[in-house]
């Protein structure tokens, strides 16, 4: 499997994995903030917003424009402004699935030559599609790890023993 196929497979699995991790939890459990970082609900809504406002848009621009500019997205500010813990989780999961499916269709229509297409990412400089996909997969892995640790803490009745990933 080449890099593009691997990225598509990994990124495609995230929405379902997230849905499985939060399945069966109460609203109280989903909104519990064990630290100053995200609750499980906030993690899911953050993933949804970063997908819709960030990665889906960035991928589209990178594949259709010459050297587009990607503005920075302040995930922590979005969480506060959009009051994530007051929002229902299921529509966020459905939005994440829908947006991710659109992005994966775009990626499936691209080629390994597209991995060299470049853009400017505010705060990071030049970035190519390969690097964008690496960052995207890393972002997903970090939030899935956080969700799994929070789920384990809820099920065991203990506090979290992890360092949550920086929101971006």
Concatenated DSSP letters for 115-165? GG-EEEETTTEEEEHHHHHHHHHHHHHHHHHHHHHHHHHHHHTPPP-S-PP
What is the model's pLDDT at position 1?
A: 79
118 part of a folded domain: yes
163 part of a folded domain: no
42 part of a folded domain: yes
What is the model's pLDDT at position 117?
A: 97
7 part of a folded domain: yes
Q: Report the domain count for the chain.
A: 1
pLDDT by residue, tens only, the chain of 168 residues = 799 999 999 999 999 999 999 999 999 999 998 766 799 999 999 999 999 999 999 999 999 999 999 999 998 899 889 999 999 999 999 999 999 999 999 999 999 999 999 999 998 899 999 999 999 999 999 999 999 999 999 998 865 444 444 444
Global model pTM greater than 0.95: no
Domain extent for 37:
3-156
161 part of a folded domain: no
Structure tokens at 46: 């953050």
Q: Which DSSP symbol is given to 25?
A: -
- Spatial CB neighbours of 19, under 8 Å, sequence gap ≥ 6: 93, 97
168 part of a folded domain: no
167 part of a folded domain: no
What is the model's pLDDT at position 159?
A: 58
CATH of the domain at 99: 1.20.120.450
Burial of 68 (0-12, 13-18, 19+ CB in 10 A): middle
CA distance 45 to 99: 13
166 part of a folded domain: no
What is the model's pLDDT at position 5?
A: 96
């Amino acid at each position: 499997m080449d890099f593009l196929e691997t990225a598509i497979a990994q990124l495609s699995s995230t929405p379902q994995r997230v849905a499985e991790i939060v399945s069966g939890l109460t609203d109280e459990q989903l909104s519990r903030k064990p630290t100053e970082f995200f609750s499980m609900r906030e993690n899911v809504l953050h993933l949804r917003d970063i997908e819709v406002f960030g990665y889906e848009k960035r991928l589209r621009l990178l594949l259709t424009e010459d050297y587009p500019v990607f503005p920075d997205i302040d995930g922590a500010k979005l969480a506060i402004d959009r009051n994530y813990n007051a929002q229902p989780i299921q529509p966020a999961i459905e939005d994440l699935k829908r947006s991710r499916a659109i992005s994966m269709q775009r990626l499936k229509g691209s080629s390994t030559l597209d991995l060299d297409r470049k853009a400017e990412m505010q705060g990071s400089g030049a970035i190519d599609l390969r690097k964008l996909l690496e960052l995207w997969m890393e972002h997903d892995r970090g939030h899935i790890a956080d969700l799994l640790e929070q789920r384990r803490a809820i099920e065991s009745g203990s506090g979290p023993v992890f360092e949550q990933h920086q929101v971006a």
